Amino acid sequence: MDPLGARSQFVEVQTLSTWERQPDPEGEETEKEYNDSLVSKQAFPSPFPYREDINRKIVLYNGDVALLNCTAIVNTTNETLTDKNPISESIHTHAGPELRDELFKLKGCRTGEAKMTKGFNLAARFIIHTVGPKYKTKYRTAAESSLYNCYRNVMQLAKEQAMASVAFCVVSTTKRGYPLEDATHIAFRTVRRFLENYGESIETVVFAVTDMEEPTYRKLLPLYYPRSEEEEHASLPLIPADIGNSEGEPVVPERQIRIAEKPGCLEVDSEAETLDSDLGQVGTHAFARMEGDVDKQRKLILQGQLSDATMQKQHQRNYNRWLCRARAEDLSDIAALKALYQTGVDMCGRTVMVLVGRNIPVTLIDMEKALLYFIHVMDHITVKQYVMVYFHTLTREHNHLDSEFLKKLYEIVDTKFKNNLRAFYFVHPSFRSKVSTWFFTTFSVSGMKQKVHHVETLQQLFTCILPEQIDIPPFVLEYNARV
C-alpha cells in the first residue's frame, strides 16, 4: 500500500485520452491532402467505416501495461507460462510471488489460447495470459490464425466475465519473430470486429506499447479506427487486401468444409459402376486418392500422351502452386491501386466483381504480382457463380492489358473461374477494344465469347445490376454523364 499522500505508480485508464480525442499529428496540412486527393472522392465503401462510438473505447498508451488500473491486463508468454520477456517480468514483479504459484496450477497454455488468473498486487483485478505463435514465413497462415485466436480469445474472456476494460500488450514478442506490422494489422482488425459484433458491454480497450512500437501503431490505427470520414477515405487504399472474414479471422478457402447432399448415396441407374467411380464416392481429399504408377505418368508426359484426367490434375497442381505464392507474397502495393474489388450482387443474386482499367498502370507495375493478386482475391469468390464488370472508361495505352498476359491468366486459373463466370460486362468499350476482344475470345480462349457483353452506357448496365449494388468510380459517372 502506498504511504499516505504518496503518488501511486499505477495509471487510471479513465485519465487516458481516447483515440477519438487524439488529433491527427499532421494537422491542417493532412486534412488539405485528404480533400485534394482523388482517394477522398472515391465512392468505394470502407470495410472499417468511421465509428465514433468504437473510437471512444480505444486508447493508445505508451507505457508499462502492468501499471494500468483496469479490469484486466494481457500477459504475453510461452506454452509453459514461464517466458522471460520484459512484459512478463514486469507483471510478475508488480503482482508478487503468488502469481507464479497460480500459474503453476494452470499446467501450461497452448498457442492461441487465453487463460485467466487474479491480479494479486496489481491495480488490475485480472491477468489474461496468452501465447503468441512463433513466426516462420513457411507457416505464415498458421501463425496468422494463431495470433487471431490470441486476441479473439482474450476479448471473448473479457466479454464472458463482464469486464469493463482490458489492456493489451503487443502479444507476439520479438523473441517469437512475428513482424510487428503484420501482427498489428491482425490485432486491430480482430478487436475492431469483436467490438462491432459483441462489444456493447466493453467500455475501454487499451493498446499498451513501447517507444519502438508506438510509430507502427499510430500509423495503422487510422486504417481500422478512422477519426473522421476524411481519414476513412484517405486510409482506404492502405488497407490490406486480406482483412479476414466478418470476425477478422484469416480465411483459408481450402480449409472450408463443403457438404455435398447425400455424398454416399449412389443413383439407381448406376449399378454397373466401375471401381474408379466407386472410389470416387469416398471423396477427393488426399487420403482418398489412388495414385497411378508415377514413372509411367512421367513417361506419358514426355511422350505427350497424357489423358484428360491427368492433364486436369497437372493443371490443378500448377494452379495450387500459384495460389500458395499469392498467399505468401506481400501484394499491398497492388491492392492499393483499387483496380479489383468486390461489390454487391446482380439481379440474379450473383456476386459482382469490378475491374477498373484506368487504375492498372501496366508499364509501371510487376504484372506477375498483379496476376498473383487476381488469383488471391478471386479464389474464394469463384467457388460460386459470379459476374465481372470491367470499366474500360478513359483507359490509355499504358492501361491496356497485353493479350499474351490475358491468355496466360486464362490458362493458369482454376476451372471454377471459367465455369462459374456467368457474364463479363465490358463498359464503355472503344472500337479498338471491341475488335481486340472479338479476336481474343474467338482464337485464344474457348467458351468466353458468349459471356462477353459490351455495354455502351451505365443505364444499360443497370438493367442487369441495380445502381445501389455496384460501386462505380466517380470518373466513370462523370464520363457517362458527359458522353
Sign of CA dihedral 164, 170, 175, 178: positive
Q: How far apart are CA 459 and CA 479, in angstroms?
A: 13
Question: Is the pLDDT confidence value at 76 over 60?
Answer: yes
Q: How far apart are CA 283 and CA 37, in angstroms?
A: 52
Higher pLDDT, 10 or 439: 10
Q: How far apart are CA 120 and CA 95, in angstroms?
A: 5
Higher pLDDT, 90 or 295: 90
User: Which tens digits make up the pLDDT trace of 158-168?
Assistant: 999 999 999 99
Q: Are strands 421-427 and 72-77 parallel, antiparallel or unpaired?
A: unpaired
pLDDT in the model for residue 298: 57
Among the residue ranges 101-110, 259-268, 298-307, the one predicted with the least confidence is 259-268
Per DSSP (E only), the strands in 373-412 are: 386-391
Residue 137 pLDDT level (bands cut at 50, 70, 90): confident
Q: Which residue has the cell 472515391?
A: 42
How many CA atoms lie within 13 Å of 71's alpha carbon, on the beta-carbon side?
A: 18
Residue 256 pLDDT level (bands cut at 50, 70, 90): low
In the chain, what percentage of residues exceed pLDDT 90? 53
Residue 60 pLDDT level (bands cut at 50, 70, 90): very high
pLDDT in the model for residue 144: 93
pLDDT in the model for residue 260: 53
Question: Is the pLDDT confidence value at 39 over 50?
Answer: no
Give the three cell numbers for residue 330.
506481400
- Nearest alpha carbon to residue 151 among 124, 116, 191: 191
Among the residue ranges 8-17, 54-63, 87-96, the one predicted with the least confidence is 8-17
pLDDT in the model for residue 163: 94
Question: Is the pLDDT confidence value at 4 over 50?
Answer: no
pLDDT in the model for residue 411: 86
- Give mean pLDDT, residues 200-204: 93
pLDDT in the model for residue 291: 53
| C-alpha separations of 171 from 103, 111, 132, 134 in Å | 18, 11, 6, 11
How many CA atoms lie within 13 Å of 279's alpha carbon, on the beta-carbon side?
A: 11
- Give mean pLDDT, residues 287-313: 59
Among the residue ranges 50-59, 60-69, 267-276, 390-399, the one predicted with the least confidence is 267-276
- Could you give the domains of the chain? 11-238 (3.40.220.10), 275-327 (no CATH), 332-482 (3.40.525.10)
The helix (H) or strand (E) run that includes residue 321 is helix 308-328
Among the residue ranges 13-22, 115-124, 269-278, 321-330, the one predicted with the least confidence is 269-278
Cβ-contact 145, 112 below 8 angstroms: yes
Q: How far apart are CA 355 and CA 424, in angstroms?
A: 10
Query: What is the identity of the amino acid at 191?
Result: V
As beta bridge partners, residue 391 has 356, 427
Question: Is the pLDDT confidence value at 37 over 80?
Answer: no
DSSP conformation letters of 262-283 = STTPPPTT-TT--HHHHHHTT-
Residue 307 pLDDT level (bands cut at 50, 70, 90): low
pLDDT in the model for residue 441: 78
Q: Is the pTM of this model over 0.85?
A: no
- Give mean pLDDT, residues 82-89: 93
